């Protein structure tokens, strides 16, 4: 999807609200919400970012208008709800598949391999893998979310072990 | 009892006896697999219908381990229960009814616990740490702090200690508040590849742009900095930085008066729809109420120019004899002063804001960054993404105190630090150099911004970016850089004055 198409859709919503064409505004808002849902379901990260820009731009433009009528505020609220949906979709990501995480040469695979001989703390994983602190710190949250690593605190340390799911 | 309230109660028990808590923790660290076994059972307990009551009953009546070890384990089990809420990666466990209720409460109240008088129980990681949590891969620090037992939750106390003004003995309490801003966002700070552009406007480019007045009162000499009307220059700088794609723009300490702030708001509003600027932080001199002392404040504006929050400087910058000489600070009678106290009313609170377009941010105005309290506590808690520090001083270099304090805060807090400065004090400094025949010490390339990126690896150095303007030709009067620390210089701060 092109950014221009999102810009045109958002501009149409602005114009419809400015002119008080509420049916058109509602129809376009429905299209916008539908597109946001499709981006989320299809995991189209770049499109979601472009959509976020246009929704925020449109919301800002409408918020700066003097019109505080119930009809205008109602559409502004709908736009805000779509923006919240898009922002949540961008802030939260699904973990990649087990196959992708275990692919040779990746930091996640190196961490899994280092855990094959037993549980290790974060600093011990840095030492065992030879990876940077940053790389290990990026790998662990995704491995946990994928269910391949279980972690627990032991005092101040965080221990990590492979789960049975991590074949 | 709610799970978060049980955590707060357990946390207080651990704080009551730190030595015993430390010993209990050492026993758990000695046998990590045993701790893992207990925590696995406690997690199952929490996922059951009456989890909180069952956990409390286990803490109160079980004969397993010592009472303090049970407190640690129970609190850690709660900390783990909240963990899916602090991760960028979605997991099935985040989808329980209980966690939905917890998220709802957190968004409504900015805390998980019921009673604000106990403090605010918040997610410890800022937005950056939701995908890259450096804390769990860095070696343990030498000193024990019970807060380090918990990676997900942090109990922000209602007050922290701050130093009393003008070297008076003792400490004073300042309030602490966490404020989660709900706004429409198009930036994604939790994406590790997100790289904002940070702009700085020194604004006071000449000595007379920031007048340093002095007077005697109550047997002491005082100074007060008063900015001129710089609204037109500020507006032009906003336009220039918008053209450069700035995400956030920072103005230095007391560089603006209320009229200039008004002009900045109008300029930001003009850029609101199509421009890139999401936030503007302005150092503003606010007149005192009823003839009282003025305040040095920093006002945060959103993309429409509306005020979001205001932070007041907590600590005064009192000048000693050397500083008075370096900056030619004289009394009304022309006498060079031995000491000059800053004539401001110090603030009585710290606000931490979580901005959807930027991350979690605290403002520490000039002296507040260098003081031990409360800055050190906030850094040690490792809950911030950004510290932004407007200052009023001579040109910033990689050797002066701001570099040392910025690096310390960035490393201790595992957060990014931005320092923004004006140029008036550099002109004062140069005037003294000229009078003393020390032209070689003149500031020509005037540092107006320092950016600090914390090191991820303790064996490495932090990264620094210094932005400057020629002191004799500072136009266009603003600087900006994208946050790309891989290309920045390594910082060596050993021996900084």
Test A155 with B132 for CB contact under 8 angstroms: no
Phi, psi dihedral angles at B228 (to 5 degrees)? -85, -175
ipTM over 0.85: yes
Cβ within 8 Å, pair A136-B36:
no
DSSP string, B402-425: HHHHHHHHHHHHTSEEEEEE-SHH
pLDDT tens, B223-276?
Answer: 999 999 999 999 999 999 999 999 999 999 999 999 999 999 999 999 999 999
B246 secondary structure, DSSP code = -
- Higher pLDDT pick, B450 / B372: B450
Under 8 Å between Cβ of A60 and B305: no
Which CATH number applies to B161-490: 3.40.50.1100, 3.60.110.10, 3.30.420.140, 3.40.1380.10?
Answer: 3.60.110.10
- What per-residue confidence (pLDDT) applies to B494? 54
Between the alpha carbon of residue B182 and those of residues B152, B250, B254, B354, the distances in Å are 21, 22, 28, 9
| Domain-wise residue ranges, chain A | 3-91, 98-162
Residue B375 has pLDDT above 80, yes or no: yes
Q: Is the pLDDT of residue B457 over 80?
A: no
pLDDT at B497 > cutoff 50: no
Q: Report whether pLDDT(B454) > 80.
A: yes
Residue range(s) occupied by CATH 3.60.110.10 in chain B: 161-490
Q: What predicted TM-score, i.e. pTM, was given to this entire model?
A: 0.94
Within chain A, which residues score under 50 in pLDDT? none
Greater confidence (B133 vs B7) lies with B7
- Is residue B487 very low, low, confident or very high in pLDDT (cuts 50, 70, 90)? very high
- Please determine, for residue B197, whether its predicted confidence score (pLDDT) is greater than 80: yes
Q: Are B188 and A59 in contact (CB under 8 A)?
A: no
Whether the bond between A64 and the residue before it is cis, its omega within 30 degrees of 0, is: no
Shortest Cα distance from A23 to chain B (angstroms)?
24
Closest CA to B468 of B394, B388, B370: B394
Closest approach of B356 to chain A, Cα-based (Å): 9
Output the pLDDT for position A91: 92
Residue B57 has pLDDT above 80, yes or no: yes
Average pLDDT, stretch B348-359?
Answer: 96
pLDDT at B70 over 50: yes
d(CA B296, CA B314): 9
Q: Which CATH number does A98-162 carry?
A: 1.10.10.10
Look at residue B171 and tell me whether its pLDDT is greater than 60: yes
Output the pLDDT for position A152: 95
Closest-CA distance of chain B to residue A112, Å: 15
- Range with the poorest average pLDDT among B305-309, B388-392, B394-398: B394-398
Per-residue pLDDT, B258: 96
- Contact flag A152-B80 (C-beta cutoff 8 Å): yes
> What pairing do the DSSP bridges indicate for beta strands B159-163 and B171-180?
antiparallel
Average pLDDT, chain B: 93
Of B112-121, B149-158, B388-397, B453-462, where does mean pLDDT reach its minimum? B453-462
Q: Average pLDDT, stretch B291-317?
A: 96
B349-366 average pLDDT score: 96
What percent of chain B lies above the pLDDT cut of 90? 79
Query: B26: which chain A residues are within 8 Å (Cβ-Cβ)?
Result: 155
Nearest-angstrom CA–CA distance, B180 and A119? 36
C-beta of residue B83 within 8 angstroms of C-beta of residue B43: no
Q: Do A156 and B137 touch (CB under 8 A)?
A: no
Mean pLDDT, rounded, for B148-158:
95
B331-344: pLDDT as tens digits:
999 999 999 999 99
B79/A137 Cβ within 8 A: no
């Amino acid at each position: 999807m092109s950014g221009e198409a999102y810009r045109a859709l958002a501009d149409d919503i602005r114009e419809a609200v400015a002119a008080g064409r509420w049916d058109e505004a509602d129809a376009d808002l429905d299209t916008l919400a539908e597109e946001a849902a499709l981006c989320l379901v299809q995991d189209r990260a770049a499109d979601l970012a472009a959509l976020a820009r246009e929704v925020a731009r449109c919301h800002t433009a409408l918020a700066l208008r003097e019109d505080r009528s119930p009809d205008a505020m109602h559409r502004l609220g709908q736009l805000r709800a779509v923006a919240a949906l898009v922002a949540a979709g961008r802030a939260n990501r699904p973990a990649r598949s087990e196959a992708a995480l275990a692919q040779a040469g990746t930091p996640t695979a190196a961490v899994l391999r280092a855990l094959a001989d037993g549980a290790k703390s974060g600093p011990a994983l840095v030492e065992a893998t030879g990876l940077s602190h940053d790389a290990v710190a990026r790998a662990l949250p995704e491995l946990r979310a994928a269910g391949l690593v279980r972690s627990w605190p032991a005092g101040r340390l965080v221990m990590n072990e492979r789960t049975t799911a991590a074949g | 009892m709610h799970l978060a309230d049980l955590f707060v109660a357990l946390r207080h028990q651990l704080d009551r006896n730190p030595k015993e808590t430390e010993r209990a923790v050492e026993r758990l660290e000695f046998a990590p697999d045993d701790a893992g076994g207990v925590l696995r059972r406690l997690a199952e307990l929490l996922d059951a219908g009456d989890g909180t009551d069952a956990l409390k009953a286990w803490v109160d009546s079980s004969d397993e381990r010592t009472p303090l070890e049970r407190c640690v384990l129970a609190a850690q089990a709660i900390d783990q229960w909240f963990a899916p809420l602090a991760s960028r990666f979605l997991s099935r466990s985040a989808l329980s009814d209980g966690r939905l209720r917890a998220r709802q409460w957190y968004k409504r109240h900015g805390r998980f616990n019921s009673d604000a008088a106990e403090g605010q129980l918040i997610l410890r990681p800022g937005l950056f740490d939701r995908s890259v949590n450096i804390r769990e891969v860095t070696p343990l620090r030498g000193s024990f702090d019970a807060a380090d037992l918990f990676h997900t939750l942090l109990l922000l106390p209602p007050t922290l200690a701050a130093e009393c003004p003008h070297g008076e003995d003792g400490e004073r309490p300042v309030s602490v508040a966490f404020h989660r801003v709900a706004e429409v966002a198009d930036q994604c700070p939790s994406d590790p590849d997100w790289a904002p552009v940070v702009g700085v406007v020194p604004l006071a480019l000449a000595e007379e742009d920031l007048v340093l007045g002095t007077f005697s009162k109550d047997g002491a000499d005082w100074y007060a900095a008063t900015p001129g009307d710089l609204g037109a220059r500020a507006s032009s700088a906003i336009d220039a930085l918008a053209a450069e794609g700035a995400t956030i723009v920072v103005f230095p300490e007391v560089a603006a008066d209320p009229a200039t702030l008004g002009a900045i708001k109008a300029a930001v509003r003009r850029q609101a729809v199509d421009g890139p600027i999401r936030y503007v932080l302005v150092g503003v001199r606010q007149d005192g109420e009823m003839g009282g002392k003025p305040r040095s404040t920093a006002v945060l504006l959103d993309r429409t120019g509306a005020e979001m929050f205001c932070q007041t400087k907590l600590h005064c910058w009192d000048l000693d004899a050397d500083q008075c000489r370096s900056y030619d600070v004289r009394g009304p009678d022309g006498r060079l002063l031995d000491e000059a106290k800053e004539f401001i009313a110090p603030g009585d609170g710290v606000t931490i804001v979580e901005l959807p377009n930027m991350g979690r941010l605290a403002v520490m105005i000039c002296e507040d960054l260098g003081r031990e309290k409360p800055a050190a506590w906030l850094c040690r808690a490792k809950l911030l993404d950004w510290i932004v520090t407007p200052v009023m001083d001579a040109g910033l270099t990689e050797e002066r105190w701001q570099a040392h304090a910025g690096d310390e805060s960035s490393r201790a807090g595992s957060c990014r630090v931005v320092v923004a400065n004006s140029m008036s004090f550099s002109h004062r400094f140069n005037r003294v150099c000229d009078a003393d025949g020390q032209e070689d010490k003149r500031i020509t390339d005037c540092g107006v911004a320092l950016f600090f990126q914390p090191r991820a690896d303790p064996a490495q150095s932090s990264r620094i970016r210094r932005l400057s303007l020629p002191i004799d030709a500072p136009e266009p009067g603003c600087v900006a850089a994208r946050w790309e620390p891989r290309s920045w210089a390594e910082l060596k701060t050993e021996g900084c004055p």
